[in-house]
Structure 1
Amino acid sequence: MSRALFIGRSVMDVTALVEDFPGPDGKTKALSNDVIPGGSALNAAVTFAHLGGTAALATSLGAPGPMKTMLTSDLKDRNVTVHDISNDPDYRIPLSTVVSTRSLGARMIVNGAGDECEKVRSQEGLILTEGYGLIQIDQYERHFVAAHADALRAFEGPIILDGGGWKDWSPDFLKLADIPIVSDVFCPEGLRAFANMCEELDIQRWAMTRGHAGVVWHDQGRRGEIPALEVDVVDSLGAGDIYHGAFCHAYLETGSFVDALNIANQIAGKSCTHAGTRSWMDA
């Protein structure tokens, strides 16, 4: 069975699906609501486990409380093993607010007010001895990643980077990656600039997801594009996270980079026909 470790921040999402965003001082009725664990690494791990893999999540949980209880219980139900890497008794899981529109397939996210956990545990064995086929990093839990950079470099399997928007520390994460799969806003200068970054770092496999414009990929000198799946979008929340979780599972199962990108494209596209990040799994 495929095994993967996902490293990244966990949050609790308060979600609402609406037909259209209300204007200033306006109100609207939700089509659906939920309170559900989220975060790019968490969603990817849940997707990986749903597809039949053995998933572990390294994330900061911190102090006991209702959100921690809800998150750990949910992940247990989803067959994801959780490793709490926080060493800060005052750390609280961030609370995010997400409003998605059915009419536009767009969303608005208000991230939690707290900062990332800076006090992290030593978890060398977590990375080196669990027999993972790959590791995914997502530009969060950067203090943990920095503390274990040498162990990550020594990891024998591929390290997948989930690159959303560009951050001050993005170059450090990119240098650790064997296969970066980034969004089109990861590199503000565009596709060519990102391709040049990868060439300078001798990264032979990479992909850029571009929403409705599909996916551009590069594989050891070969290049190509994958068109976006044509679906009636209900909610695109978490589609990128689901894409990464599906890619990781398919890549370990097939060994083919391009095939895995195609499989992930299909699964992420279909997830957009359902509200939230989980209902596609339960449909």
Structure 2
Amino acid sequence: MSRALFIGRSVLDVLALVDDFPGPDGKTKALANDLIPGGSSLNAAIVFSHLGGDATLATSMGAEGLVRNFVTDDLKKYGIDLRDICDDPSYHIPLSTVVSTRSLGTRMIVNGAQDDCSRLKDGRDLFASDYNLIQLDQYEHPFVGQNFDDIRAFDGPVILDGGSWKEWSPDFLRLADVPVVSEVFLPEGPHAFAEMCNDLGLSRWAITRGTNGVIWHDGGSSGEIPAIPVTAVDTLGAGDIFHGAFCHAYAESGEFVEALNSANRIAAKSCEFAGTRSWMRA
């Protein structure tokens, strides 16, 4: 069984699926509502576990209470080994508000105001375990900085989930062996990202582009993977699901392009269902 460590922020998503976004001062009736734990690494860890892997999630849980218990119980249900890295009792898991449209297959996200936890537990024991890979999602920046040397010394691939550019993105890129980023990660485009990776000595990378498919580069080879046509109901979490599926396939086979193809198929399937979990039950 493949094993992976996912490091990133956990949130509690308040979800609504609507036909169309309302205009200014407008109202609309939800087609579906849900309350579900989320976050890039949390979602990826659950997908990794769902596909048969052994996932550990290092994340900030903070204060005891209903939200923490809700998130913890959900992770237990999916067999995730949860490691709380936060030592600040005033930290609260952020609430994220997500509105998705059925007509367009797009969504609007309002992230919580809570910053990453900066009062941290000693997490060095995490890196003594025998993982096949580590995934970083650019959150829990203080924890990643505290353990920079241990992550760099990890004897295995470090995967970067790069959703959008942040002021600390260069720090995460310096830790990455395989960055798999979205097309909005670097607004200057794929060529600029390729040059950046070349400057950093990164020869294996990919850019996900939604309905335009995936661009990949692997040493002296490069190519594109076309998007799989689907009738999208909800694209929420598709990138996270892609990453969880990629990490599982890559940990199992070590085949980069094969893992990207597998992740592309699974992420496309997830878009045919509302929310981030219902595709698993289909």
TM-score interval (norm. to shorter): over 0.9
Q: Aligned with 1:52: secondary structure?
A: coil
State how far apart, in whole Å, the 1-side matches of 2:182 and 2:114 are: 25
Q: Which consecutive unaligned segments of at least 5 residues does structure 2 have?
A: none
- Separation in 1, partners of 2:211, 2:79: 32
Whole-angstrom CA distance in 2 between matches of 1:282 and 1:34: 16
Partner amino acid for 1:218?
Answer: H
Q: How far apart, CA to CA, are the structure 2 residues paired with 1:146 and 1:194?
A: 23
- Distance in 1, Cα, partners of 2:268 & 2:80: 23
Q: 1:67-78 to 2 correspondence within 5 Å?
A: 67-78=67-78
The TM-score with structure 1 as length reference comes to 0.99
How large is the RMSD of aligned CA atoms in angstroms?
A: 0.6
Amino acid at match of 1:27: K
The DSSP-based 3-state class of the residue aligned with 1:103 is: coil
Q: Which moved more, 1:117-126 or 1:53-62?
A: 117-126
Is structure 2 residue 9 aligned with structure 1 residue 9? yes
- Counterpart of 1:71 in 2: which secondary structure? helix
Secondary structure, in 3 states, of the residue corresponding to 2:23?
Answer: coil
Residue 139 of structure 2 is matched in structure 1 by 140
Aligned to 1:217: 216
Distance 2:281 2:64 in 1: 29
Determine the structure 2 residue equivalent to 1:155: 154
Write out the 4+ residue segments of structure 1 that deviate beyond 3 Å after TM superposition. none
Matches of 1:247 and 1:69 in 2, distance apart? 29
- Find out whether 1:22 has 2:22 as its counterpart: yes
1:218 is paired with a residue of what secondary structure? strand
Unaligned stretches of 5+ residues in structure 1? none
Q: Deviations over 1:99-140 (max 9, x none)?
A: 00011111000111221111111111102x211100000000
The aligned residue for residue 87 of structure 1 is 87
Match of 2:204 in 1: 205
SS of alignment partner, residue 114 of structure 2: coil
2:100 paired residue number? 100
Secondary structure of 2:15's partner? Answer: strand
Percent of pairs with identical residues: 66
Structure 2: distance between partners of 1:119 and 1:136: 22
CA distance in 2, matches of 1:42, 1:171: 22
Is 1:58 matched with 2:58?
A: yes
CA shift, 1:204, in A, is 1.1
Hey, what does 2:250 align to over in structure 1?
251
Task: Tell me the residue number matched to 2:166.
Answer: 167
The offset of 1:87, in angstroms, is 1.0
Following superposition, the deviation at residue 221 of structure 1 comes to 1.3
Matching residue's letter, 1:205? R
1:228 and 1:17 mapped to 2: Cα distance? Answer: 23
Equivalent position of 1:275 in the other structure: 274
Q: CA deviation at 1:56?
A: 0.6
CA separation in 1, counterparts of 2:125 and 2:60?
A: 17
Once the two structures are TM-superposed, the CA of residue 42 in structure 1 deviates from its matched residue by 0.2
The whole-number CA distance in structure 1 between the counterparts of 2:81 and 2:178 is: 24
Question: Which residue type is aligned with residue 62 of structure 2?
Answer: G
- Rounded Cα–Cα distance in structure 2 between residues aligned with 1:232 and 1:216: 22
Q: Deviations over 1:1-48 (max 9, x none)?
A: 000000000000000010100111111111111000000000000000
Correspondence for 1:264 = 263
